[in-house]
Amino acid sequence: MGFGNMQKMMKQVQKMQKEMARVQEELAEITVEASAGGGAVKIVANCHQELQEVHIDPAAVDPDDPTLLEDLVLTAVNDALKKSRQRAAEEMEKVTGGLKLPGLF
């Protein structure tokens, strides 16, 4: 590989790094939603895997059976985080062109 090719490759790497940094910032603004119990519990998370909103239908609150609500919350949170990771991976794949780079999703 000649020096010119190496220089060209380094410029491409730098461009990809800038693009990846831009996408990382955008991921904080992209949200996904998940629900459980027929919508009794709704979770909104961003693509940095941070929960943004939690909505619980008051009808889902049963003081005699808190484990049901706990299970619904757990299910909705796990689903939201899974969707968030998938969406983040899709967005990063647009930048990397499908390259599997270590440490990225």
Residue 72: per-residue pLDDT: 98
- Judged against a pLDDT cut of 70, whether residue 24 lies above it is answered with yes
Convert 34-54 to b/e letters by CB count within 10 Å (16 or more is b).
bbbbeebbbbbbbbeeeeeee
Report the chain's mean pLDDT, rounded to a whole number. Answer: 90
Q: Token pair of 25, please?
A: 């910032």
Per-residue pLDDT for 103 more than 70? no
Q: What is the pLDDT of residues 51-70, one digit of tens each?
A: 999 999 999 999 999 999 99
Q: What is the band of 14 on the pLDDT scale with cuts at 50, 70, 90?
A: confident
- All domains of the chain, ordered by start, with CATH? 3-96 (3.30.1310.10)
